Structure 1
Amino acid sequence: VLTKDMAKPAVPFGGKYRVIDFVISNCANSNIDTVGILTQYKPFELHNHIGVGASWGLNRRDGGAFILPPYMSEKEQNFYKGTAHAIEQNKEFIDSFNPEYLLVLSGDHIYKMNYEKMLSYHKENNADVTIAVIEVPWNEAPRFGIMNTNEDGSIYEFEEKPENPKSNLASMGIYIFNWELLRSEFKKAEEENREKTDFGQDIIPSLLNEGKRLFSYKFKGYWKDVGTLSSYWESNMDLLDINNELNLFDSSWQIRSHNKSLPPMYVSSSASIEHSVIADGAIIKGTVKNCVISSNVEVEDGAIVEDSVIMSNTKIKKNAKVKKAIIGENVIVHENSKIYDEQGELYSIGNNLEIRGDE
């Protein structure tokens, strides 16, 4: 629903951010000065948001932020087929910076991580590849790529979504490669005519078979893959706990974004606000409880909004009721409309829609 008009990393989050802000901010805070952003599906919002990376201090003479759409060559004119294929298509771009190490990240996860610490761990272990992992509940392990490790953290086996997992260490989709090793692996795979599309399915198992040094880096902070509506809603709701692990108020690790200059939030005398995050430009006249309200949202007199995520430029008209919902950008919920599920399930509405009555 939310990604009909934009790439997943461009989806708004937390009232004033977009999902990709967390990864780019992690890079900036980790003193990484060269960031390539690989885009493919409906990239306009993402390109417009990132620009030249000025919001993250990446508009610089040396290095910077680079948007990398699928690379068209004489040999190949394909969209990115997978994570490894996307990196391979941009190997000339990477080579132009002559890096010793390559950090590969997913753009649709919410977390804060110091990549410098992960790189130090990689060097200390003389690793060829280091993969960030996080402990997940055992009953959820079959949903993830699982790393089976020795006591020293070295990886001896990778299993993609195993039915009977031997470990609960899930891959976070964060990799540090020795660039020359990865580059030679791409070349070797091409010579042997074997698949090199995905890191988890193709490259990592191949490197393990070759006896390369692969290590796991345990991460113990907040991490959420917001690839589903339910996980996206849960992660937004987590922000309502002022003591949550993500802690957006930590000035030592700021999450930056590209935001418009907007007036302050306005709260009328008729408004009732409880336990909510509300962005600049919002006008609140009704009742808001346990919500994340984005910029330029209007909640009119008599309207009730509870347990919901409301995206920018959306209007909740008089006496409308919204409960446990995700409502996209530029939506109008007309007077007396009711948006909630009778069984208490999560309700979602996409962008640029009008909702009338009991629709």
Structure 2
Amino acid sequence: MSNCFNSGINKIFVMSQFNSTSLNRHIHRTYLEGGINFADGSVQVLAATQMPEEPAGWFQGTADSIRKFIWVLEDYYSHKSIDNIVILSGDQLYRMNYMELVQKHVEDDADITISCAPVDESRASKNGLVKIDHTGRVLQFFEKPKGADLNSMRVETNFLSYAIDDAQKYPYLASMGIYVFKKDALLDLLKSKYIQLHDFGSEILPRAVLDHSVQVSLICLEYVFCKL
């Protein structure tokens, strides 16, 4: 949340799952009662619910959480000129200026931009990995590969301006679960093309790289993020 405010992003939707009472209370007290000036923005909690007549009311995955509330986003878009949407996971600690990520996304004219960090082999299999070409375009996305699949996702990171020693130490590019989507691309993926798929990392992104312009935004080697 603080990264959003510090990046100048002031319209935020928070998707919360079951057992989220304390989270919802924290957001309400901190951001809705805390005297924060949102200008023309706001923070809105969109909590999953499960009714007897709708047993699948809980979010089935990251993409499904957005799909279930896509009507809220579309209602907001109908009153605002919005071109791009930043999607963030809530299980990491890090500091980032999201506007630099958005700016690269716009400059690349990408449909999707994935923020990635170089990692060593010990951490690679715990993350979604990408393979890219020399322009930074994503050629393949693989969620938490193992064995031969893991080895196939190695990247020659020396062309990314890393020192030779660093390129050998960090031969994988891991998704941070931080994405920028063109609004129209996101709506097409969730409402039309992949309406039965629920997760970005394991289902939608591996397919989207085949027919969309998907780019990476790399962070520096000194950057550290902690996955909770």
Choose between structure 1 and 2 for higher RCO, CA contacts under 8 A separated by at least 6 residues: 2
* TM-score of the pair, normalised by structure 2: 0.80
Asked if 1 retains the 8 angstrom alpha-carbon contact of 2:18 and 2:58, the reply is no
Is 1:204 aligned to 2:182, yes or no? no
1:180 to 184, 188, 202: 184
Which residue matches 2:137? 154
CA separation in 2, counterparts of 1:57 and 1:176? Answer: 29
Alignment map for 1:96-245 (pairs within 5 Å) = 96-98=75-77, 99-163=82-146, 164=151, 165-167=153-155, 168-189=172-193, 195-210=196-211, 212-220=212-220, 221-226=223-228
Structure 1 or 2, whichever has the larger Rg, is 1
CA separation in 1, counterparts of 2:55 and 2:37? Answer: 31
Asked if 2 retains the 8 angstrom alpha-carbon contact of 1:28 and 1:58, the reply is no
Which residue matches 2:164? none
What value does the CA root-mean-square deviation take over the aligned residues? 2.3
Deviation of residue 42 (structure 1)? 1.2
Q: Specify every segment of 5 or more residues in structure 2 that has no aligned partner in the other structure, as ranges.
A: 156-171
Moved over 6 A (4+): 72-76
Alignment map for 1:1-359 (pairs within 5 Å) = 24-51=1-28, 53-54=31-32, 60=38, 62-70=40-48, 78-98=57-77, 99-163=82-146, 164=151, 165-167=153-155, 168-189=172-193, 195-210=196-211, 212-220=212-220, 221-226=223-228
Asked if 1 retains the 8 angstrom alpha-carbon contact of 2:18 and 2:48, the reply is no
Amino acid at match of 2:27: I
CA separation in 2, counterparts of 1:58 and 1:179? Answer: 27
Deviation of residue 108 (structure 1)? 1.5
Gap change, CA 1:34 and 1:109, over 3 Å in 2 = same
Asked if 1 retains the 8 angstrom alpha-carbon contact of 2:118 and 2:174, the reply is yes
Gap change, CA 1:76 and 1:44, over 3 Å in 2 = closer
> What does the per-residue CA deviation read over 1:208-255, in whole Å, with 9 as the maximum and x for residues that have no partner?
222x100011122221112xxxxxxxxxxxxxxxxxxxxxxxxxxxxx
CA separation in 1, counterparts of 2:216 and 2:34? Answer: 28
CA separation in 1, counterparts of 2:55 and 2:113? Answer: 30
Asked if 2 retains the 8 angstrom alpha-carbon contact of 1:59 and 1:65, the reply is no
* TM-score of the pair, normalised by structure 1: 0.52
Counting matched residue pairs gives: 199
Q: How high is the sequence identity, in percent, across the aligned residues?
A: 29
Q: Specify every segment of 5 or more residues in structure 1 that has no aligned partner in the other structure, as ranges.
A: 1-23, 227-359
